[in-house]
Amino acid sequence: MKKLLLTATLLLSATSIYAAAEPTVIGSGGERFSVTPVAGDGNCAFTAIGKSRTEVVAALKDAVEDNYAAYKEFNNSRRAMHDLVKALSFGSSVDMINSVLSQVESFIVENAAQYSSNPEDRTPATLAFEELVSFRSELGSFSAGSFDVSKRFLQSRIENMYYARYEAFQEALRKELQESGMPQSRLSSKAELKQSIEDVFARNNGRASWLPMGLISGVHERLGLNLAVWSSRDQTPGRVSLYQFSAPGDNVMDPSVRHVVWNGSHFDILTVQQ
């Protein structure tokens, strides 16, 4: 997803600020929109984005499940690579060693992109790959002692690889839930995270309160939702500015994008004028 989770707790109010249906507002880039007012019943954000409260909660809980599953798969693969290297000995055949190193190389390469796309960054994958190349280059010239030393270095580099996507997701989700009122003590396990998601979205159900918009933005892909949130708060009447968005190619005016406007306490629907 373009932005894993965006920190933004938005408030909901009882009524739209637009008295008449389909007035026109102008974006900061000259975009023109018609405004369709949404009822201020505590569910205005869900109505505006076209997704139900149930759909959003389900998408977030699925994201938690998938993130834990992906981490488990990565961790199992990392442990397997570590154990394959550990099982090598000075007396292992060159063919066996090369077979193991090829598997380790595939693991490193497959997971390199999660750290950084900058080749100059010294990521865990970069360090592991360098150790792999060094180990491979010494084949045929190792002593028994130097073989074990190099093997342990490679094992250590494999151990130091971590699942960056998992860490980033966990950190952002916990931050968003804490800003939405959940205590840190309830955000440790998978079950606690999923229950906290339910609790956050149950708070403002059917009444004017607040909405954790950052959580919705974090699962826009799962919801099949390209969303642009415009703000009329602190703007000249009839004007809106872009608050946050996720869109194909970063093109906020892509035809697939759904536009909504937030006035600091309420959401309404925007339709691009042709």
Q: Answer yes or no: are the C-beta atoms of 220 and 256 closer than 8 Å.
A: no
Q: Are residues 222 and 243 in the same domain?
A: yes
Q: Are residues 53 and 81 in the same domain?
A: no
Q: Are residues 80 and 142 in the same domain?
A: yes
Q: Are residues 55 and 85 in the same domain?
A: no
What average pLDDT does the segment 203-214 reach?
56
Distance CA 208, CA 20 (A): 21
Mean pLDDT (the chain, rounded): 87
Strands (E), 121-238: 210-212, 226-231
Task: Look at residue 76 and tell me if it is in a domain.
Answer: yes
pLDDT in tens, 171-196: 989 998 888 888 999 999 999 999 99
Percent of the chain with pLDDT over 90: 59
Confidence of residue 213 (pLDDT cuts 50, 70, 90): low
For position 228, which CATH number holds?
A: 3.90.70.80
What average pLDDT does the segment 143-171 reach?
94
Q: Are residues 39 and 130 in the same domain?
A: no
Q: Are residues 132 and 190 in the same domain?
A: no
Q: Answer yes or no: are the C-beta atoms of 41 and 261 closer than 8 Å.
A: no
Q: Are residues 78 and 114 in the same domain?
A: yes
- Using CA atoms, how far residue 133 sits from 105, 127, 214, in Å, is 9, 10, 42
Among 37-41, 140-144, 215-219, name the one with the lowest average pLDDT. Answer: 215-219
- For residue 79, the model assigns a pLDDT of 97
Instruction: State the residue range of the domain holding 80.
Output: 65-165
Q: Answer yes or no: are the C-beta atoms of 193 and 169 closer than 8 Å.
A: no
- 227-252 exposure pattern, b = at least 16 Cβ within 10 A, e = fewer: bbbbbbbebeeeebeebbbbbeeeeb
Whether pLDDT at 220 is above 60:
yes
What average pLDDT does the segment 125-154 reach?
95
pLDDT in tens, 1-26: 434 344 444 544 445 656 555 689 99
Task: Look at residue 39 and tell me if it is in a domain.
Answer: yes
Task: Look at residue 95 and tell me if it is in a domain.
Answer: yes
What average pLDDT does the segment 138-148 reach?
94
- Give the chain's domain count: 2
- For residue 18, the model assigns a pLDDT of 60
What average pLDDT does the segment 101-124 reach?
92
Q: Are residues 105 and 60 in the same domain?
A: no
Distance CA 90, CA 2 (A): 47
Q: Are residues 188 and 53 in the same domain?
A: yes
Task: Look at residue 83 and tell me if it is in a domain.
Answer: yes
Task: Look at residue 171 and tell me if it is in a domain.
Answer: no
